[in-house]
Amino acid sequence: MINIFNSDRTNGPMSGKKDFYNESLTREEIIKDLKIRRKRLGELKGFDGTKILVPLTPAKVPFVSEDVTENIRELLNQDPNYDLWNLDIKCDVMLIRSSLKGVVLAYPVADCPIVIVSARDTLGIAHCSSQMIDKELPVSLVDAVSKASGAKDSELNAYIGPCAGYSYVYETYPYWATHDDWKHFIDETKEGYRINLKNAVISQLMLRGVKGVTTSPIDTISDPNFYSNYAYKHGDESKNGRFLVGAYFKEKIKTR
């Protein structure tokens, strides 16, 4: 069973970046506070807050895919209390198998779509910024999960987390939009160029053959419960932070 979740502003910023905290806090105090809040979030969402893996994205093509199952199992066998948040595993696509339950794949984010693709025994995650959508990272995520699991594309399920919606506007045509398909997802209006990141991701997933695609309805720019880098840069200082989007394999509850 796969559980997908996200935090929101009530959980505080899910990042140790000093810019998101009171200037008086030291680095050590920020790290301690974040760990406490990760544990509280885990209690709410059904996992151990110290068992969250956040990939360190190289953001270079060709994309790097990493199945971390065996290495993480070995690490936790040696030290069950190890805080996985502190690992810096460089990859654009991170995979985990159903044999390692309770370990979370997640990203701190504030507007970019986090895409989660799963098969029966394999879970994959990628941080699909506008630049990475342009380079077809969602397709690479599907490729990685399909190859690792042996499942057909039509057997995969995908989820797109809370992200910037219709309020996402560039004054000039975005420099990163080099793919021909953007003509379907960037609209020129009197306000500027409106960008539909979610539909761009959906298009890539469906063209790749993924049929089970679900999305969060949340627009991070306009929803007051979510951080948004775009809203922050446009004057709303309260939106400065990162929320977490993640997924994990959960133990099935046995019934009589």
Token output for 75: 């690490």
Domain for residue 172, yes or no?
Answer: yes
CA dist 122 and 144 (Å) reads: 10
Q: What's the pLDDT score for residue 136? A: 96
Query: What integer pLDDT is reported at residue 60 of this predicted model?
Result: 72
Domain count, the chain: 1
Is residue 191 in some structural domain? yes
53 found inside a domain: yes
Give pLDDT, residue 58.
76
Residue 163 lies in a domain: yes
What pLDDT does residue 245 have?
98
| pTM assigned to the model | 0.95
12: in domain: yes
Ranges of residues in the chain whose predicted pLDDT is under 50: 254-256
Encode pLDDT of 216-234 as tens digits: 999 999 999 999 999 999 9
Q: Report yes or no on 109 lying in a domain.
A: yes
pLDDT digits (tens, 9 = 90+) for 75-100: 999 999 999 998 989 999 999 999 99
| Residue 203, amino acid | S
Q: What does the pLDDT read at residue 255?
A: 43
For position 200, what pLDDT does the model report? Answer: 97
**What pLDDT does residue 113 have?**
98
Token couple for 150? 């042996």
Domain contains 254: no
What does the DSSP assignment read for the chain? -EEEEE--GGG--SS--GGGS-TT--HHHHHHHHHHHHHHHHHHHTS-TT-EE--B----SSPPEEE-HHHHHHHHHH-TT--GGG---B-SEEEEETTSTTPEEEEEESSSPEEEEE-SSEEEEEE--HHHHHTTHHHHHHHHHHHHH---GGG-EEEE-SB--TT-EESS--TT--SGGGGGTEEE-SS-EEE-HHHHHHHHHHHHT--EEEE---BTTT-TTS--HHHHHTT-GGG-S-EEEEEEE-PPPP--
Kindly report the CATH number assigned to the domain that includes residue 241.
Answer: 3.60.140.10
Contact 40, 49 (CB under 8 A): yes
Residue 74: inside a domain: yes
Domain that residue 167 falls in: 2-249
